[in-house]
């Protein structure tokens, strides 16, 4: 993902996650702090999806629409902040490709787990990807910044 991709990323975010709005500054900061964890998916030279991820601390996910300011010096998880795919890219193994990239990046960082907050009725999808609910690790206020059905999930990597 490049700075020039951010307008398309914002459009996709608005379409796929209308109930979870984040400011352009959030995407800009993540892309600047950890560019190797920010990717776009293209189809016929058009951006049809994106992923924002970075090393973080297990059980301490950022609240929705909040700045990080810096990555922590001690990281214990590879955090999937946001993933969005337009309906036209679904069924093309885009999610499988993206997950493979995530696992490789986590391994590169020598992290043995991935974490995320499941929203937008995605809990079952993430369960099928071997993520387990771990709400007990997170302060309730963090999850409430997303919505009442949000679930913190963790996947151990072999």
Q: How does pLDDT run along the chain (158 residues), one tens digit per residue? A: 999 999 999 999 999 999 899 999 999 999 999 999 999 998 888 999 999 999 999 999 998 999 999 999 999 999 999 999 998 877 777 778 888 889 999 999 999 999 999 998 889 999 999 999 999 999 888 888 888 889 999 999 97
Chain centroid, CA 56 distance in Å: 12
* Among the four given CATH numbers 3.40.630.30, 3.40.718.10, 1.10.3720.10, 3.40.50.360, the one describing domain 3-156: 3.40.630.30
CA angle centred on 55, ends 52 and 57, rounded to 5°: 120
């Amino acid at each position: 993902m490049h700075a020039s991709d951010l307008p398309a990323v914002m459009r996709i975010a608005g379409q796929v996650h209308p109930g979870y709005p984040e400011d352009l500054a959030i995407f800009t900061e993540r892309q600047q702090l950890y560019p190797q964890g920010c990717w776009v998916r293209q189809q016929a030279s058009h951006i049809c999806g994106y992923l924002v991820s970075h090393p973080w601390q297990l059980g301490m996910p950022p609240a929705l629409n909040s700045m990080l300011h810096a990555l922590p010096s001690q990281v214990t998880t590879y955090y999937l902040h946001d993933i969005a795919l337009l309906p036209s890219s679904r069924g093309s193994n885009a999610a499988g490709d993206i997950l493979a990239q995530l696992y490789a990046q986590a391994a590169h960082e020598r992290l043995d787990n991935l974490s995320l907050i499941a929203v937008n009725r995605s809990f079952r999808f993430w369960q099928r990807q071997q993520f387990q609910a771990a709400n007990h690790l997170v302060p309730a206020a963090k999850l409430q910044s997303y919505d009442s059905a949000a679930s913190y999930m963790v996947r151990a990597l072999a």
